[in-house]
Amino acid sequence: MLCKLSFKNIQKSFKDYAIYFFTLILGVSIFYIFNALDSQTVMLNISSSTAEIVKLMIELLGAVSIFISFILGFLIIYASRFLIKRRKKEFGIYLTLGMSKRKISMILFMETLFIGMISLAIGLILGILLSQFMSIFVANLFEADLTRFTFIFSKTAMMKTLIYFGLMYLFVMIFNTINITKCKLIDLLHASKKSERIHLKNPVICTIIFLISISFLTYAYYSVTVGVEKLLNFQDILTPIVIGCISTFFLFWSLSGLLVKIVTKMKKIYFHGLNSFTIKQVSSKINTTVFSMTLISLMLFVTICVLSSALSLKNSMTSNLKTLAPVDIELEKRRNLTLKEIENQWNLNQNMIEDSTISLEETLKKFEIDYKNIFEDTILFSVYNDQITLKDTLGTYYEEAKRNYPYLRDTFKEDMIRLSDYNAVAQLFGLSQYTLNENEYILISDYETMIPLRNEALKRNTSLTILGKNYFPKYSECQDGFIHISSNHINMGIFIVPDNAVNDHLIDKEIWLANYKNAKEKEEKQKIEDVILNIEKHPYIKNTSLNITTKIALYEASIGLGALVTFIGLYIGIIFLISSAAILALKELSESSDNIERFQMLRKIGVDEKMIHQALFYQIGIFFLFPLIIAMIHSIFGISFCNYILETIGNEKLLESIIMTSIFLVIIYGGYFLITYICSKNIIKEK
């Protein structure tokens, strides 16, 4: 009997459960899709290095899934709370008719069980279907061969989804039972007639709290933008985050009192149409709204920042390789090593001192590498150092720089390269070539954080002293350039000097740039690369500081890291976006359910349906738009901070990522808004 009644209740209240069902199904399908990635990546034809990154990605996604399960669990409990509130009068009637609270709890248990089973079944089916498209997306991210593509079903993902969501529903059942046990009959019968007691806030106090909140938010914004250089550890970063969260709460608290007070004073606006009714509706739940709005706004803020940064990182890393890795391989070896340098650097040992006295070409011969037959377009050059540090090259700007950047590594040794060598590299890389007078130097850099610092020193005509002779900058600004192949901008500054400015005694390292001979396709290049990288097994490898960087390795690492960040960003971002939108939607549906009689009163006094629907639209719009606006303001500074963090990795595609994030917001957040409005219209028509 109870089972039959529970099933009928679900059918009868389907309008109330529609968004609940939709959110659960969406949550289950997304949870399955991201946990099924391990099965999807098995079929990909990828290299061993990429496979290691994929393995790391799967492990991280598993850890993130635990965090996501708590978010979804909170969402389900939050939704259940409003659904129970919607049906309190129904439960009161059951009690009046003689049904015990234990049986009512059993009805709720059955309903939750049915909803859980249905949502799990539909969500898993949808997840299995969508995961096939995800397989194609994964293959595109890793630029893998899809010749082994088959329909994939992940038993591991299904079991994990069943266990995690089963535990969530169990907690919901316990929560519902406790909630019903505590309810009194009179509260259940009159629940729909109860409004939250409105505490009119003192406008003076609200204004003071508002100004204080704005002041603290300004400080938080300043800390993550202008003062970002001072954020050197987790505690430093955590401080503005905590301040921002607390300030956001008090901002909503003060605005909730101020805006209502301000609008009521604006007679023309307040008494226009049904604005007075709408303001009354908004203010009637003002106390509970403050915390909800804060939570939703912060979740939206995290969503915007995470999605924008993750997508930007992925796009930038792959696009950077086209310009920053123009050749197939770079070999680098330290020269003229000293015992002091060996002691100060963990990756060096005393055996390398002897090897540092011979050329890079001679070192390759010890590995029996036939470089003449496998390399073409070769350039072998030296990088020099005369014990010149960053402090020396900043000149008179040093003291000011130290104050502005207190943790500046002023003992950082500066690299120099001969003009002829750099022009040869520039010709190979497709960069600008230069000329110099006998007493001039040029500073090249592509690391954006260091460029302003360097430019200030160059504007002051700071001299560079090499072997007792002074050289002066040809340009008052850094020129764009680099000499190392990489997947990101890492050149903090290299000095181009006349050829006769340095000698062999100042050689710090040798670099060999080359392409693979007669190898155009990736498979052909990989065969040559496997031969070169095989030197890692050679006994002599312990005696040299030889370092090998290849375009293929950079490409695979970039693609793998980009995919890893993209998946984790999408996973967290989409779940947060769904959760925040669902919380708002459920809350507004509950409000519409409570206010059926109020809308009926409007009809009785002659208000037409168009005005009623307009008032409902404005009411729901305020609740959806308000936290989004605050989140977008936060995101301007949050993305700026993320942009600073990702600066060395790449942020060129940030605008495209923000546009993509906006599309996600419009589709998911806007979709929930429209569904909420349509469902709310149906609810207020019930009588």
**Average pLDDT value for residue range 622-649:** 82
Q: How many CA atoms lie within 13 A of 539 on its CB side?
A: 0
CA 663 remoteness from chain centre: 16
Q: Where are the domains of the chain?
A: 1-194, 197-324+589-687, 325-555
Distances in Å between the Cα of 639 and the Cα atoms of 119, 170, 199, 575 are: 36, 38, 37, 19
Express each pLDDT in 42-74 by its tens digit: 545 556 666 676 777 777 777 888 888 887 777
| pLDDT top residue among 142 and 677 | 677
The C-alpha atoms of residue 267 and residue 209 are separated, in whole angstroms, by 26
**Average pLDDT value for residue range 401-412:** 78
What pairing do the DSSP bridges indicate for beta strands 507-516 and 415-418? unpaired
Ranking 182-196, 207-221, 235-249, 498-512 by mean pLDDT, the lowest is 182-196
| Contacts of 432 by beta carbon, 8 Å cutoff, 6+ apart | 426, 479, 480, 481
Which pLDDT score, from 0 to 100, does residue 8 have?
Answer: 64
| pLDDT top residue among 185 and 437 | 437
**Average pLDDT value for residue range 456-464:** 92
Q: Which of 290, 305, 307 is nearest to 246 (CA)?
A: 290
- Which residue shows structure tokens 């590299």? 425
DSSP-assigned beta bridge partners for residue 212: none
The number of beta carbons lying within 10 Å of the beta carbon of residue 120 is 21
Tell me if 40 sits within 8 A of 134, measured CB to CB. yes
Q: Is the pLDDT of residue 123 over 80?
A: yes
**Average pLDDT value for residue range 439-456:** 90
pLDDT band at 143 (very low <50, low <70, confident <90, very high): low
Q: Is the pLDDT of residue 192 over 60?
A: no
| pLDDT top residue among 652 and 51 | 51
Structure tokens at 94: 């059951």
**Average pLDDT value for residue range 457-478:** 92
Express each pLDDT in 502-515 by its tens digit: 998 899 999 999 99
**Average pLDDT value for residue range 72-91:** 70
Tell me if 532 sits within 8 A of 548, measured CB to CB. yes
Which pLDDT score, from 0 to 100, does residue 448 have?
Answer: 81
What amino acid occupies position 3? C
The number of beta carbons lying within 10 Å of the beta carbon of residue 205 is 12
Helix (H, G, I), strand (E, B) or coil at 412: coil
DSSP-assigned beta bridge partners for residue 516: 375
What pairing do the DSSP bridges indicate for beta strands 375-384 and 469-473? unpaired
Q: Is the pLDDT of residue 149 over 60?
A: no
Q: What are residue 329's phi and psi, to 5 degrees?
A: -150, 150
Helix (H, G, I), strand (E, B) or coil at 201: coil
Express each pLDDT in 591-605 by its tens digit: 777 777 777 887 888
| pLDDT top residue among 455 and 369 | 455
Ranking 335-339, 364-368, 401-405, 663-667 by mean pLDDT, the lowest is 401-405
Which pLDDT score, from 0 to 100, does residue 623 have?
Answer: 84
Which pLDDT score, from 0 to 100, does residue 483 have?
Answer: 92
pLDDT band at 405 (very low <50, low <70, confident <90, very high): confident
Q: Which of 602, 612, 619, 624 is nearest to 280 (CA)?
A: 619
Helix (H, G, I), strand (E, B) or coil at 136: helix
Q: Is the pLDDT of residue 441 over 90?
A: yes
The C-alpha atoms of residue 105 and residue 460 are separated, in whole angstroms, by 79
**Average pLDDT value for residue range 361-386:** 87
Tell me if 657 sits within 8 A of 308, measured CB to CB. yes
Taking each continuous run of H as one helix and of E as one strand, the counts in the chain are 27, 9
| pLDDT top residue among 513 and 609 | 513
Which pLDDT score, from 0 to 100, does residue 415 have?
Answer: 93
What pairing do the DSSP bridges indicate for beta strands 329-334 and 494-497? unpaired
Distances in Å between the Cα of 304 and the Cα atoms of 246, 395, 564 are: 19, 42, 18
For helices 88-96 and 48-86, the axis angle rounded to 10 degrees is 50
DSSP-assigned beta bridge partners for residue 383: 509
Q: Give pTM, 2 decimals.
A: 0.72
Tell me if 551 sits within 8 A of 328, measured CB to CB. yes
Q: Is the pLDDT of residue 272 over 60?
A: yes
**Average pLDDT value for residue range 248-253:** 87
Q: How many CA atoms lie within 13 A of 365 on its CB side?
A: 6
Q: Is the pLDDT of residue 455 over 90?
A: yes
Helix (H, G, I), strand (E, B) or coil at 418: strand
The C-alpha atoms of residue 415 and residue 397 are separated, in whole angstroms, by 20
The mean pLDDT of the chain is: 79
| Contacts of 421 by beta carbon, 8 Å cutoff, 6+ apart | 379, 381, 382
Which pLDDT score, from 0 to 100, does residue 521 have?
Answer: 77
What amino acid occupies position 65? S
pLDDT band at 151 (very low <50, low <70, confident <90, very high): low
Query: How many percent of the chain have pLDDT more than 90?
Result: 15
Structure tokens at 381: 């050059």
Which pLDDT score, from 0 to 100, does residue 196 have?
Answer: 47
What amino acid occupies position 1? M
Helix (H, G, I), strand (E, B) or coil at 311: helix
Express each pLDDT in 291-304 by its tens digit: 778 888 888 898 88
Helix (H, G, I), strand (E, B) or coil at 303: helix
Which pLDDT score, from 0 to 100, does residue 598 have?
Answer: 78
